[in-house]
Amino acid sequence: MTGPDWENSSRAFFDQRALQVTNVDLNALCFVSGRDARLWSDEVMYADVIDSIVTLSGVSKCSTLLEVGCASGFLAWGLSPRLCHYVGLDIAPRAVETAKKLKLKNAEFRVADGKRLSLADSSVDAAISYDVFTNFPSFAYGADIIREMLRVVRPGGRVLIGSIPDAARREHYEKRMVAVAAELEARYGPLPPDPELKPLGPLDRIRNWLRPVNPSIVCYYFNRNDFLNFGEELGVSVELTDIHPMNPYVGYRFNAIYTKNAI
């Protein structure tokens, strides 16, 4: 799926899931973001990914952090207490509405396109886009977002592109996913059924009638060298690292950390 269809399908996927949840807790946030709650609602696992993001992005209680692709606030839930201010952006308006229901006192959520950020140059301390590039059909699409994130980050600040599926390990990764699913079922039982779909509102019905959309996301894979070469093209340093150590897909996904040149 390429062109605008993949973006519309992705937006519809997160929006539809956001419409299905009632109580906004970590399990619900996992559901909206397409994560397996049997894994990601575990407090130790969740703390591991939050600690990793804080360390790799170089933020602290004095920092303002931007997240591009925040969905319903799965990461904001754990990151905002570790920051001075958090800004979450996403293209899915219903998911953003769900994120606002978290009522995180030092966080704000907006509907926005990551390729055209409405933030001033050098206005945030760091920026992340975590487990988001997997939804992009090409590196070229993500490259525009990295450029914008670097623009709004202060000199010396970091841009973390996290949890990127490694194209070189695709065959092994897909086998690992099957194994992880079996391990989770053996430990916790099968996935619970999805919440019952709520009826669409009038505007959503009109949009679907005008342009039918299949709510779905696809896992895309990326070459490590594309991230390294892009850093060279931009004239900024980039480091590739493993994902957080408790993640069952260590070795199959990676992080790319860009550091904006200091003045």
CATH number at residue 60: 3.40.50.150
Q: Domain span at residue 157?
A: 4-259
pTM for the full predicted model: 0.93
- Three-state helix/strand/coil letters over the chain: CCCHHHHHHHHHHHHHHHHHCCCCCHHHHHHHCCCCHHHHCCHHHHHHHHHHHHHHHCCCCCCEEEEECCCCCCCHHHHHHHCCEEEEEECCHHHHHHHHCCCCCCEEEEECCCCCCCCCCCCEEEEEEECCHHHCCCHHHHHHHHHHHHHHEEEEEEEEEEEEEEHHHHHHHHHHHHHHHHHHHHHHCCCCCCCCCCCCCHHHHHHHHHCCCCCCCCCCCECHHHHHHHHHHHCCEEEEEECCCCCCCECCEEEEEEECCCC
Per the structure, the count of domains in the chain is: 1
Task: Quote the pLDDT of residue 204.
Answer: 64
Task: Quote the pLDDT of residue 208.
Answer: 60
Task: Quote the pLDDT of residue 224.
Answer: 98
pLDDT along the chain (263 residues), means of 10: 72 91 90 94 95 98 98 97 98 96 96 95 98 96 97 98 98 97 94 70 64 82 98 97 97 98 87
Task: Quote the pLDDT of residue 1.
Answer: 43
